[in-house]
Amino acid sequence: MKLKLITAVTATMLAAAPAMAELTFSALSYRTGPYAANGIPFADGYQDYFTLMNERDGGIGGEKINLVECETAYNTEKGVECYEATKGQGVLVYQPLSTGITYQLIPKATADDIPMHTMGYGRTSAKNGKVFSHIFNYPANYWDGASIAVKHILDVNNGDINGKKIALVYHNSAYGKEPIRTLEELSKKHAGTEKPVAPDPPRTS
């Protein structure tokens, strides 16, 4: 009888205790690869911030934060592998930190019902929430940057750039190519039939 009473009391205490929960975030970092100089301080700061939240505030709303980091080396294929390897851990949101990775993850994250933040990068047309329900690319994007650059050029040329050429120097990647379409459309609007000149990417042997 005594054993049954102890068992019943223990079960009641466990049922009454709050469930231990944690909020899982991903860190698709690139501490290696061609952009490691940018990726290392971002990854360190991102990790430090969540550590601060856990230690100072007890997490978010009383729930601890679990940060799952995966190294992409700013490589699209590795980025997709990281997504597939971590999504099963209950990640609440992804930040790919790469336009190439973003393009590949848009259909995957949408199908998996996981939101993705691509702040200032990624697929610009994802601003259309009616089409891209899970992608959030605030507060600005590549099209905004191209438009602002052309506006500045117009300002310093008294509003007339007809006949002038604008050259876009870019690298041959999804990130580098994003502004091209915007500049072509602005060229039609402001400079007659002139189009911006985008140099051919360097040949590789």
Say yes or no: 122 and 40 in one domain.
Answer: yes
Say yes or no: 66 and 112 in one domain.
Answer: yes
Total of domains in the chain: 2
Contacts of 118 (CB under 8 A, 6+ apart): 95, 96, 99, 102, 126, 135, 136, 137
Other CB atoms within a 10 A radius of the CB of residue 46 amount to: 17
Q: Sign of torsion, CA 205 103 139 72? A: negative
Structural domain contains residue 76: yes
Q: pLDDT digit string (tens) for 101-119?
A: 999 999 999 999 999 999 9
Say yes or no: 34 and 100 in one domain.
Answer: yes
Say yes or no: 99 and 56 in one domain.
Answer: yes
Distance of CA 183 to the CA centre of its chain: 23
Say yes or no: 130 and 175 in one domain.
Answer: no
Say yes or no: 70 and 118 in one domain.
Answer: yes
Q: pLDDT digit string (tens) for 142-200?
A: 888 888 989 999 999 988 888 888 888 888 877 788 888 888 888 888 865 444 555 56
Integer Cα distance of 199 and 13 in angstroms: 70
Contacts of 156 (CB under 8 A, 6+ apart): none
Residue 202's pLDDT is 57
Say yes or no: 124 and 146 in one domain.
Answer: no
Say yes or no: 37 and 80 in one domain.
Answer: yes
Which range of residues forms the domain containing residue 162?
142-190
Whether the pTM exceeds 0.85: the reply is no
Say yes or no: 126 and 28 in one domain.
Answer: yes
Say yes or no: 107 and 169 in one domain.
Answer: no
